[in-house]
Amino acid sequence: MKLSSANINIMVKACRKAAKILIRDYGEIEKLQVSLKGPGDYVTASDKKVEKILIEELQKARPHYSILSEEIGEINNDLSFRWIIDPIDGTSNFLHGIPHFAISIGLEHNKEIICGIVYDPIKDEMFIAEKGNGAYMNNQRMRVSTRSKLKDCIIFSGGPRYGSENKELIFKEYIKFSSKVHIAIRKFGSGSLDMAYVAAGRCDGMWQRDLNYWDIAAGIILVKESGGFVTDFDGEYRYLQNKTLLVTNSKINNEMIEVLK
């Protein structure tokens, strides 16, 4: 089966067009214009070009929808429908020539994400999901993993940013998980791809603090439509309010919540 609704087709077209900029600029890393946006947080000329293309394509197809995007902020139109955009999730990886970053777009209807896309242009992997219609990676159906014991799992996390107020707490959480997980904890630097990998069964769970909505919007529907859970650290659905995100397959959610307590 292939997802081919009107909204999905709009998102795919926008991502494909914007990805041409990323692929070109990725091959010319040394020529990128970079401005400092904050400690350890960079924005590139590529970010802005990609965002511009995405917004132009989305607005052309759906001119009445609102937009929330990382660089420009909000464009308020019809608030019942809203695109949530991260033009480059994994900017630091991109800047350093590490081929692990993605374009992320989620579509929100009445405060609920109803479809999403996470596109890794270097690997040409497109993760897509739509409410009630499943999740797919390059048109192959995705399912979360079936591992049921935390000790046998691969778990992702993001670690603290340089200026994080929760730095010590995040390190403590990392130590607690490292004592429970026998296989591996990984930090790859792209929250949207972390969520896509949970949805695809490539890893079994992730936890992270202080992510923004545009980092996770598309990933929420990818994981849910693949049979996984997206909650806060207490197992509730306040991840946007309290900035704690727990993403798991259907079997280790409770065990990860216990570790985070």
Asked if 89 is an active-site residue, the reply is yes
DSSP state of 174: H
- The token pair at 98 is 């590490």
Share in percent of the chain as helix, strand, coil (round to 5) = 35, 30, 35
Asked if 91 is an active-site residue, the reply is yes
Q: Are 40 and 162 in contact (CB under 8 A)?
A: yes
Please pick, among 25, 47, 57, 86, the residue that the annotation labels catalytic: 86
Please pick, among 70, 108, 130, 204, the residue that the annotation labels catalytic: 70
Q: Are 192 and 215 in contact (CB under 8 A)?
A: yes
Q: In what order do the strands lie in the sheet with 73-75?
A: 73-75, 65-69, 78-89, 102-109, 112-120, 125-130, 134-137, 140-141
The helix (H) or strand (E) run that includes residue 255 is: helix 253-260
Q: Are 75 and 67 in contact (CB under 8 A)?
A: yes
**Measuring CA to CA, which residue among 143, 112, 152 is closest to residue 228?**
143
Asked if 86 is an active-site residue, the reply is yes
Please pick, among 8, 53, 67, 88, the residue that the annotation labels catalytic: 88
Please pick, among 47, 51, 57, 89, the residue that the annotation labels catalytic: 89
Please pick, among 51, 130, 215, 225, the residue that the annotation labels catalytic: 215
Neighbour count for residue 260 (Cβ, 10 Å): 15
Please pick, among 10, 44, 57, 91, the residue that the annotation labels catalytic: 91
Asked if 215 is an active-site residue, the reply is yes
Which residue numbers are catalytic?
70, 86, 88-89, 91, 215
